[in-house]
Amino acid sequence: MKRASGFTLVEIAIVLVIIGLLLGGILKGQEMITQAKIKNSIADFSGVSAAYHGYQDRYRAIPGDDPNAASRWSGASVSPTAAEVGNGKVQGKYNSITDTDESRIWWDHLRRSGFVAGSGFNQPFNAFSGMIGVQTGDAAAGTALGGFAGTIVCSANIPDKVAIALDTQMDDGKIDTGAVRGQAQSGPNPDIATAASATAYAETGTNIYALCRAL
């Protein structure tokens, strides 16, 4: 007689339990990574705000717009447009690539003062490879996102789940109101719109947002 080969029900049950434990560990690990990135992103906004207010308190000027920076530090820059220097606004977009824009000079001044690590004009990046930058309103004549007229800090390329958590933890969780506002992205590091978003946050797993916070 031939003995039938195969797995017993007990063996199959043990394998299923092991697979379940492995999947549970992977999912838990992914959630922990997401939570860490949420905390990291909140720290980004808080860090820029703290550096900005620290600079203002020490030098009585706005970084990037500081008229005395060139005389304070050898090699420091100010805007080549005289009317823009010391006018209380940060000229240029948060995602500027032009070193003469005050939104880029901002980072040079903060780094020279020791409030931000590193050197140079380049904007830092968040945990999602999105640019972190500053601008005044929409960097033109109007307000940004339907309500920001003053200096704002923006962070781009944020996944929908994280964007919703950030707005909820730092503000009211609504995309178009409060001190934190967002806009859906169709491309990386987009310009910030003038109008507030007409569509609420949607967690689809594929949506990406840029978030801005008033300083």
> Among the residues of the chain, which ranges form H helices?
9-59, 69-72, 102-113, 160-170
What per-residue string of b and e applies to 180-197 under the rule 16 or more CB within 10 Å gives b? bbbbbbeeebbbbbbebb
User: How many angstroms separate the Cα of 114 from the Cα of each of 91, 104, 154?
Assistant: 22, 16, 21
Name the pLDDT band for 4 (thresholds 50, 70, 90): low
Contact between 157 and 208 under an 8 Å Cβ cutoff? The reply is yes
In percent, how much of the chain has pLDDT > 90?
A: 79
| pTM listed for this prediction | 0.85
> Among the residues of 94-139, which ranges form H helices?
102-113
- Give 161-206 pLDDT, tens digit per residue: 999 999 999 999 999 999 999 999 999 999 999 999 999 999 999 9
User: Which pLDDT value is given to residue 27?
Assistant: 62
User: Which pLDDT value is given to residue 5?
Assistant: 63
User: Which pLDDT value is given to residue 28?
Assistant: 61
Hey, how many other C-beta atoms are within 10 angstroms of the C-beta on 19? 10
User: How many angstroms separate the Cα of 29 from the Cα of each of 34, 35, 204?
Assistant: 9, 10, 20
Q: Six-digit token pair at 212?
A: 């801005």
Architecture in CATH of 11-214? 2-Layer Sandwich (3.30)
Residue 1, pLDDT > 70, answer no
Q: Six-digit token pair at 100?
A: 């003469």
- Give 131-146 pLDDT, tens digit per residue: 999 999 887 767 899 9
Domain spans of the chain, in order of start = 11-214
User: Which pLDDT value is given to residue 8?
Assistant: 76
- Give 90-113 pLDDT, tens digit per residue: 999 999 999 999 999 999 999 999
Q: Which of 49-63, 83-97, 118-132, 138-152 has the lowest mean pLDDT?
A: 138-152
Q: Over the chain, what is the mean pLDDT?
A: 91
